[in-house]
Amino acid sequence: MTPQTADRPLILTLLIAVQSLCTAFFVIDVVFDATEAGWNPMTDPGAFLEGSMVLCLAAAVWVELRFLLKLLRHNAHLERQVSLATGAFHEIVEAQFSAWGLTGSERDVAMFTLKGMTIPEIAALRGSAEGTVKSHLNAIYRKAGVSGRGALLSLFIEELMTGSAADAPPAPAVAEDR
């Protein structure tokens, strides 16, 4: 969530609070006018109009408050769903890496690749040469049975969307870490 969108519920809450204070002021004003003047809102058109406007304002504040609460519940639900999807994606990735028998180094390179990093960025993060990263990528693609980055990523997207692994050849287990 960006700082701009995070402030929206706070701003809406403050606006509703100000409207609630205004509504309370007008309700008190109508009640005092009615008790001091002793007028009957049913026979005095001005009092009836003022009372009706206060009721409309109170109803509008109530509707806005309910709408804000509904939006906050919906936002919380969406955040939970994104959290679940993130966890599910991580589980899928880890299970597939294990099935392919990726070494620790290959797992790191594969994860950075899935995150969209370039070979020079991965090499810098790992403190290794670009050639080493390329070598790891070739081993990953071979074990996954794919030809490149896009195909590697599509395996995981397909599995996440359908809940079943894409048609990839079974990979031999490799226990050695480079």
pLDDT at position 11 over 50: yes
pLDDT at position 48 over 90: no
Q: Residues 38, 77: one domain? A: yes
Q: Residues 7, 78: one domain? A: yes
In a domain, 72, yes or no: yes
Contacts of 106 (CB under 8 A, 6+ apart): 97, 136, 139, 140, 143, 178
pLDDT at position 176 over 60: no
- The chain-wide mean pLDDT, for the chain, equals 82
pLDDT at position 172 over 70: no
Enumerate helices (H) and strands (E) in the chain, giving the number of each: 6, 0
Contacts of 147 (CB under 8 A, 6+ apart): 141
Q: Give the least confident one: 72-76, 90-94, 129-133, 147-151.
A: 90-94
pLDDT at position 68 over 60: yes
pLDDT digits (tens, 9 = 90+) for 103-126: 999 999 999 999 999 999 999 999
Q: Residues 8, 61: one domain? A: yes
Nearest to 158 by CA among 149, 167, 147: 167
Last residue of a domain, one of 55, 82, 109: 82
In a domain, 93, yes or no: no
Count of domains observed in the chain: 2
In a domain, 178, yes or no: no
Report the distance separating Cα 63 and Cα 69, nearest Å: 10
Q: Residues 8, 57: one domain? A: yes
Which residue in this structure is represented by tokens 């990523």? 153
The parent domain of residue 157 ranges over: 101-162
- What pTM was computed for the model? 0.49
Q: Residues 120, 67: one domain? A: no
